[in-house]
Amino acid sequence: MITAGSVPQLRRGVRLSFDHVRETHVLLFPEGVLVPNATAAAVLELCDGARRVSDITAVLERRYTGVREQDVLDVLARLGERRVVAWT
């Protein structure tokens, strides 16, 4: 179970990049490509294996209004189910 103290990172072989043709972020991994929505992309950009979920939430709160830690946890849980995010 992930918590505010969990430290997410992209799994090995997974890369977040910006597709200039589509003008959106794409998540590249061996099994395929995922096009995350803007919220998921903002969270993924901060998954560096050093920041805790609470740290990621704090960064996002400074950028956007209405960010809730539970929303960040929910996004990360879905990404974990897709096997693109792991926890250290």
- Check pLDDT > 90 for residue 19: yes
According to the model, what pLDDT value does residue 87 have? Answer: 93
Phi, psi of 83 (to 5 degrees): 65, 35
The b/e string for 26-46 (b: 16+ C-beta within 10 A; e otherwise) is ebebeeeebebeeebbbbbeb
User: For the structural domain made of 8-82, what CATH number should be given?
Assistant: 1.10.10.1150
Q: What is the pLDDT of residue 2?
A: 92
pLDDT band at 23 (very low <50, low <70, confident <90, very high): very high
> What pLDDT was estimated at residue 13?
96
**Residue 1 pLDDT > 90, yes or no?**
no
What mean pLDDT comes out for the span 1-12? 95
Which pLDDT belongs to residue 70?
Answer: 97
